[in-house]
Amino acid sequence: MSLTMNIAFSAPSFADFDDIVTFVTEESSFKIPMRARRDPPSISLVNPMDCLNSWLGDRVDMAFRCVNTGGDGGFKFFCEKDEDDSKQTDADTIRIGSFTLTPSEFYLYSGSAIDIYVSFNPEKEGKLEENLILACDNQTSEFYKLTGFGAMMDLDIVAVDGKEVNFKENPFETVYFENTNPTSESKRTVRV
């Protein structure tokens, strides 16, 4: 006596699945486990993605290499906060705070790599951070952080010709040059 049974498996996602088929006979019953497995992706992507320093009003572009040494997998970045996620208008780009990340969604075959590009355009001074979630199609996720430092340069005139400048008592008068003729020279030493 034998039985041939065909099982069709239609997975709703790339997650791992476990199930059991129970056979009931006249004398007893027995269970046969069924498992659907896929090699999980294993990516290496630096965390945090540090964009270093940029002047306010300037921009720094960085590339971060993402390498997959595991199984094939699809990935998508999401903002940590739902309100930031709802503001996204481009399907392939995430704009959050002073950062722009692209691509926000990608697929990596086993042994392949992709560059994640981050533009950092600080709008305020100091350390800036934003949190992202990188979700995989096998229903796993990991938190990532974007960081950068917004720098601002502030110059003041400290001394003119070796004399300290006090702009409250002498506003700008100490910085002026004397009247000169068109062919003569006039020099001042300004310490900033």
* Integer Cα distance of 134 and 101 in angstroms: 12
Residue 139 in any domain: the answer is: yes
**pLDDT, tens digit (0-9, with 9 covering 90-100), for 162-188:** 777 766 666 555 566 677 777 777 776
User: Phi and psi for 190 in degrees, rounded to 5?
Assistant: -115, 125
Residues 169, 113: one domain?
A: no
Residues 160, 138: one domain?
A: no
Cβ(63)–Cβ(130) below 8 Å: no
Q: Which residue range(s) make up the domain with 145?
A: 43-151
Cα distances (angstroms) measured from residue 102 to each of 73, 95, 106, 133, 167: 18, 9, 10, 14, 48
Residues 147, 177: one domain?
A: no
Residues 146, 160: one domain?
A: no
CA–centroid distance for 93 within its chain: 11
Residue 21 in any domain: the answer is: no
Residue of 59, 58, 118, 123 lying closest to 97 (CA atoms): 123
Residues 93, 164: one domain?
A: no
Residue 129 in any domain: the answer is: yes
Residue of 118, 48, 106, 45 lying closest to 77 (CA atoms): 106
Residue 7 in any domain: the answer is: no
* Integer Cα distance of 32 and 34 in angstroms: 7
Residues 57, 128: one domain?
A: yes
pLDDT of 38 > 90? The answer is: no
Residues 101, 174: one domain?
A: no
pLDDT the model gives residue 107? 93
Number of domains in the chain: 2
pLDDT of 190 > 90? The answer is: no
Residues 119, 179: one domain?
A: no
The DSSP code for 174 is G
Residues 57, 141: one domain?
A: yes
Residues 160, 145: one domain?
A: no
